[in-house]
Amino acid sequence: MLKTSSILAAFLLVANLSAAKGQEHSVELIDAAPDADEVSEELTSQFADNGIRIKRSSSRTVCEVWFCKQWPVEAGFKATEDRLYPFAPGQLIGLLHFSRRGKDFRDQSVSSGWYTLRFGLQPIDGNHEGTSPTRDFLVMVGAEQDVADKVWEAKELMEMSAEAAGSTHPAMMCLQRATDGSELAVRHNESHDWWILHTVGKGTADNKTHDVPLDLVVAGHATE
């Protein structure tokens, strides 16, 4: 009887873990600008008046994000295996809100609050080999410690982002190669159990504006 109970308990544990892994995520628009009481007016003026909410199951909010109204981008940029996005390192890309403690792509805990998202490139060295199929990331910085036009030196930016995770490693979100389509969506990468947001922003180069699709891992983490 004890053996049967143990087998049943093990079966239920596996079933529960499988159900948790497969929990559906969805995306919805937020018809409001970032909370001006929480983020400086100087920062909020940079972001679109509509945000994006990522939800797990029917009710739990994973995170909320607002992207910049426009992104300066590199003219004539073509994505390669080494670099996917036409942004400059340190560039302001968006604003993230965790209403409760969240997780970054390295499975680090990040406290509830507001964080700017700035573009970064993962170093090419042995310490990062195999941690991600891409080098393109967004790093989090506490919104109260950032200003829109600040030009971050790379080392300082990474150190400040590490503070957001209370660790020695930056708090980061992984960018993936942009997929086609103009509709806001979230898809599941089953092999990694990643949920990936697809959206389209506006890029400016040579005084011309064009669509810039962006795919961002909003739930799930590296397998290292």
Q: Is the pLDDT of residue 179 over 50?
A: yes
Mean of the per-residue pLDDT values of the chain: 88
pTM for the full predicted model: 0.87
Locate all alpha helices (DSSP H) within 28-131, ordered by sequence.
41-44
* Cβ atoms < 10 Å from Cβ of 93: 23
Q: In this predicted model, what pLDDT tens digit does every residue of 10-25 receive, in sequence order?
A: 333 333 433 345 579 9
pLDDT band at 183 (very low <50, low <70, confident <90, very high): very high
Number of domains in the chain: 1
185: exposed, middle or buried (C-beta count within 10 Å: 0-12, 13-18, 19+)?
A: middle
- Domain containing 213: what range? 24-219
Q: In this predicted model, what pLDDT tens digit does every residue of 24-47 receive, in sequence order?
A: 999 999 999 998 899 999 999 999
Q: In this predicted model, what pLDDT tens digit does every residue of 101-143 receive, in sequence order?
A: 999 999 999 999 999 999 999 876 555 454 556 899 999 999 9
Structural domain contains residue 63: yes
Structural domain contains residue 1: no
Q: What pLDDT sits at residue 29?
A: 97
CA distances from 195 to 12, 55, 62, 137 (A): 25, 11, 11, 15
Structural domain contains residue 18: no
Structural domain contains residue 8: no
Q: Which run of H or of E encompasses 132?
A: none
